[in-house]
Amino acid sequence: MNTRDLPAAATTDQRSFREVRGMVARDILENAGDNGGQHRLTQRDIADRIGTPWGVVYTSLKSMQELGAIRIERHRLYINKELLQKMAGEAARIISQT
């Protein structure tokens, strides 16, 4: 690989990650109940629904946690609906541009 290709490759990887993270965000929003902003989901269920490997969902959830979009405690998922909507919208824009 040519060194001048590296920034483009990195940009593509980041874009792909944001796309998948947005798909995970959308799935959480669609499957979260109105139980005080919390709902119990499995990472494997999310992976199956969006058609991506479990490890990618795990990485996406960790990123979302670091950004404050979700909090996971005692097998419970607490969501920041506004941030998840923003992530889902970003993914939709990326998909529409391809």
Distance, CA of 62 to CA of 39 (rounded, Å): 17
| Three-class secondary structure of residue 32 per DSSP | coil
Task: Please report how the helices 81-97 and 6-31 are oriented relative to each other, as an axis angle in degrees rounded to 10.
Answer: 130
Question: Could you tell me the sign of the dihedral formed by the alpha carbons of 13, 17, 20, 26, in that order?
Answer: negative
Q: Span 47-69, mean pLDDT?
A: 94
Residue 69 confidence (pLDDT): 96
Domains of the chain, earliest start first = 3-97 (1.10.10.10)
pLDDT tens digits, 29-55: 998 765 555 556 788 999 999 999 999
